[in-house]
Amino acid sequence: MTEEQIRALAKKIDIDLIGFFSVEPLMECLPYLCKRENKGFSTGFEGAPAVERINFYKQFPLAKTGIVIGINNFQTFKKLDDDQERGHIASVSWGEDYHKVLKRRMNELMTAVNLELEKNGEACSEYKIFVDNSPLVDRGSAYRAGLGFFGKNNCLINAQFGSYFFIGQILWGYEVSISDVAPVENGCHDCRRCLDACPGQALGDGYELNPSKCISFLTQKKNLSPLEEGYVKKYLYGCDICQQVCPYNQNLQKTNEKSFWIEAEVASPKLIDVLELTNNSYKKAYHETASGWRGKKVFLRNAELVLKNKKKND
Q: Which residues of 173-185 are buried (b: 16+ CB within 10 A; e: fewer)?
A: ebebebeeeeebe
8 Å CB contact between 153 and 159: no
How many degrees, rounded to 5, is the angle at CA 109 between CA 106 and CA 111? 110
Among 132, 138, 190, 196, the active-site one is 132
Helix H or strand E encompassing 157: strand 156-157
- Dist CA 37 CA 44 (whole Å): 11
- Dist CA 82 CA 153 (whole Å): 32
- Dist CA 184 CA 106 (whole Å): 24
Helices and strands, number each (H, E), in the chain? 14, 8
Contacts of 17 (CB under 8 A, 6+ apart): 68, 69, 70, 71, 147, 158, 160, 161, 165
- Dist CA 187 CA 152 (whole Å): 10
Is residue 132 part of the annotated active site? The answer reads yes
Residues marked as catalytic: 132
